[in-house]
Structure 1
């Protein structure tokens, strides 16, 4: 780890306030926050700026939970982010995906045409930093403009998080994950 979670003795009102929009009070501590947030709060101003955006993507996005998790899993795989793969495998299971669907999403394949277009878009954004006309048109059959915008910003935000977590050396939070058989 290049950056470790903030030591407990350094958790203060500023750190608590930075996490208030994301976590309930009982989880605003080094153990409850998990490795990622406990590390990010080394910079409370950054957390206060970024977390409302991340909360939107996780809890208020116009994308369904299933589409959001398929998107994030593919981003995590393309960015070789063990933290995001592990964390969002648990969230994908909670959203109703099977382990086979999770593995498929990570590989960039899906049986459902819309989900395949989503995965294609993630690949194009990763490779080309934009969605091509053909994929955009295919997505537009099923998604409205707000959903398309949320898709692009989800890919961008989770690419950023993957880069940060990989660079900082943040390890997965297995104790905070739902149980699942692998």
Structure 2
């Protein structure tokens, strides 16, 4: 059972309403809005602390929409985190995106359960690094060398962001 009530926009404080408007006006649009107007997923919790919630959603927008990672690499890493943390919400939100990017049902299943997956070399490097990050929170020298430093930076940031969301989704029973 969810621990947070979804608050319709007309019941929000002015600061929470400003954040709500920012989230729903951005590229996520109304995808994260329920029929009564409340935010779903991790965004509902962000409204409880607008200054921190705003910073967090800005980071999320950056790792989703403004990185050097390809769309497939980004979704691959997100689904590694979702699988590792058994985050049903993130799987439900990102598997359709991955499917539209050409991931097969077998590949999505392998991402859910952490089983071996064979991908093109650049995507395999992202998979290996993302799996190492969620499993150990670190990279050995060989894993570190698989990707350019800018990609390692963005990938560690993305994994950290989605790990934070997985934690919040679990704690707030989303």
Q: Scaled by the length of structure 1, what TM-score is found?
A: 0.79
1:66 positional shift: 0.5
Q: 1:80-91 counterparts in 2 under 5 A?
A: 80-91=86-97
Q: Tell me: CA distance 1:65–1:102, structure 2 relative to 1, closer, same or farther (3 Å).
A: same
1:20 positional shift: 4.0
Aligned equivalent of 2:127: 119
Give the distance between the partners of 1:109 and 1:67, measured in 2 at CA.
Answer: 16
8 Å Cα contact 1:74/1:122 also seen in 2: yes
Aligned equivalent of 2:141: 133
The secondary structure found in structure 2 opposite 1:80 is: coil
CA RMSD, Structure 1 to Structure 2 (Å): 2.3
8 Å Cα contact 1:108/1:119 also seen in 2: no
1:91 positional shift: 2.1
Name which of structure 1's ranges 2-11 and 81-90 shifts more when overlaid on structure 2: 2-11
Mind listing any 5+ residue stretches in structure 1 that lack a counterpart?
171-182
1:103 positional shift: 1.7
| Aligned partner of 1:39 among 38, 45, 64 | 45
1:4 positional shift: 2.8
Aligned equivalent of 1:97: 103
Q: Scaled by the length of structure 2, what TM-score is found?
A: 0.82
8 Å Cα contact 1:70/1:92 also seen in 2: yes
8 Å Cα contact 1:3/1:39 also seen in 2: yes
- Choose between structure 1 and 2: higher helix proportion: 1
